[in-house]
Chain A
């Protein structure tokens, strides 16, 4: 309110300065964010709609979509269960080494995606710790789906926990304690008090976790072996088509991933507007 009054009373050279700053910021946002996004769709439809549709209907594209969904369907729920468990332990109890546990949860964020894939090759690859044993039992992890799932789990591990910990810390445990005192069992308390309190933050975490799981490239590229139709997820299919100079094909698959990103941003923004206070303690309006 007072903001409007002040900007109206601002002198015209200062207002000119504001406009210049706004234009500079917008120019950067357009060049760095809008232009790449527009490029994806412009290149995908460069030769028209028919080649685009043909490119995303190819069997390799279909199997890449299926594999991407499969990997996300396994990795995301596992990280949700982990995130809830870790947030419960971190915010409801005091124990030694809590800071260390928090740092460990964050660790995958500061490890290069390539290293995240490499560590599983060193564990399960032919030369790895468990490689010979797995080989003898006919189990394939590297250059197969389990490797893709493991690398994706590693990369997306912090998302849900990171979203829940600050919120549950801020909410405190009074309601849960009340439920216990009134005779609720542990699981009753969890499903009727804890879960409803964290549902929007949980959804927010799942959204971000899923976007990264479906879009991860570096880590899965190391463990995939790039076997067409078997171990290529959508981002890997994009890479292979691009390297084969099939630009329309590459950007067609990329456009599907870009749509997923836009959808993620839309739902994320909606959640922030609608449930800002229930998502994070530090969200706008959450003070």
Chain B
């Protein structure tokens, strides 16, 4: 009731809702509507096509793998940036956000050049038999790049507020370092780690700009789902493009629900630990 002193609810709420309606809801409604134009039969045919399946699989599993790598490396890097003091720490800390700031097309061509067989990194990997550019590994590298800051940035505030007493208590009770990490620190960080994982995952599933350059886009092998949508549009197959779009949205929605369930479970794990 006290809040009624403040003016502007009608104006701000009305404006925000109208804007969202026009920019987000109306276009998404058009997407859903167009997708129905394909019909049930067409949908089954589209989604069971081997090329579509391969692309969806690559986008899905590539994103899960990339987000997992980001979870591990993000935890390591967040930990190092928060806990240790070393020269250049602040510079590296600022640099973590580079994938947010660098346009995806720029990241895409830079990563491709870097990992091409004659590139700075590619020439060292080539003799080891590791091909990155124009393979599914390249897709993975680009997905790791774009999702990298999420885990570090969600973990950092939690890491800095982590009570050292708990760790010290564990150690004074005779726990070894790795025991303290896996039994005390990790359970406390798990819910936040999953939030970062989910953000990196959502970003990687739909990623387009940085991936298409390094992927080589070989059908059935290194072709991602968003690229199929673009191809359908270029062939004026609007219903097909819309149906694929809806399928991708549902897929990422399902993934996020799954992560939310994991998070609930990890919250209980954290509570049990403390």
Contact = CB atoms under 8 A, between A and B. Distances in A.
A287 B161 contact: yes
Contacts of B226: 112-115, 218
- Of the candidates B24, B79, B97, B100, the one having the most CB atoms from chain A within 10 angstroms of its own CB is B24
A145 interface: no
Nearest to A17: B177
B5 A222 contact: no
How would you classify the secondary structure of chain A's contact residues: helix, strand, loop or mixed?
A: helix
Contacts of A127: 236, 238
B9 A186 contact: no
B94 A82 contact: no
B8 A113 contact: no
A283 B153 CA distance: 10
A211 interface: yes
Contacts of B177: 14, 17
Counting chain B residues whose Cβ lies within 8 A of the other chain, the interface size class is: 35 or more
B133 interface: no
Nearest to A242: B109
A128 B241 CA distance: 13
Contacts of B90: 269
A85 interface: yes
A125 B234 CA distance: 12
A95 B12 CA distance: 13
Contacts, number: 264
Given A93-B13, A177-B2, A238 B106 contact: yes
Interface string B167-206: 0000000000100000000000000000000000010011
A121 interface: yes
B13 A95 contact: yes
Contact of A125 (B202, B238, B249): B238
B44 interface: no
Interface string A9-53: 000001001100110111011011111110110010000000000
Given A115-B31, A123-B30, A261-B98, A250 B109 contact: yes
Given A26-B92, A93-B6, A85 B103 contact: no
B27 A217 contact: no
B20 A238 contact: no
Contacts of A93: 3, 6, 9, 13
Nearest to A234: B103
A104 B206 CA distance: 18
A81 B16 CA distance: 9
Contacts of A33: 95-96, 98-99, 148
Contacts of B96: 29, 33
Interface string A274-287: 00000000111001
A239 B208 CA distance: 12
A62 interface: no
Given A114-B208, A154-B23, A24 B120 contact: no
A34 B121 CA distance: 12
Interface string B112-141: 011000011100000000000000000000
A274 B215 CA distance: 41
Given A18-B84, A93-B9, A150-B23, A114 B230 contact: yes
B151 to A, nearest CB: 12
Contacts of A206: none
Given A21-B79, A269-B94, A101 B102 contact: no
18 contacts: A22-B84, A24-B76, A26-B92, A36-B107, A101-B16, A112-B208, A112-B226, A112-B229, A114-B206, A129-B30, A173-B6, A176-B6, A186-B8, A208-B100, A217-B208, A217-B209, A218-B209, A247-B113
Given A25-B80, A85-B12, A251-B109, 13 more contacts: A36-B111, A82-B15, A86-B12, A89-B16, A109-B202, A114-B206, A125-B238, A128-B30, A150-B23, A180-B6, A181-B5, A189-B7, A234-B103
Interface of A: 14, 17-18, 21-22, 24-26, 28-29, 31-37, 39-40, 43, 81-82, 84-86, 88-89, 92-95, 101, 104-105, 107-115, 118-123, 125, 127-129, 150, 153-154, 157, 173, 176-177, 180-181, 186, 189-190, 208, 211-212, 214-218, 221-222, 234-236, 238-239, 242, 247, 250-251, 254, 257-258, 260-262, 264-266, 268-269, 282-284, 287
Chain A to chain B: the 8 pairs with minimum beta-carbon distance, closest first: A112-B206, A215-B103, A119-B27, A217-B209, A218-B208, A261-B101, A186-B7, A86-B16
Interface of B: 2-3, 5-9, 11-13, 15-17, 19-20, 23-28, 30-31, 33-34, 73, 76-77, 79-81, 84, 86, 90, 92, 94-107, 109-111, 113-114, 119-121, 144-145, 148, 156-157, 160-161, 177, 202, 205-209, 213, 225-227, 229-230, 233, 236, 238, 241-242, 245, 248-249, 252, 256
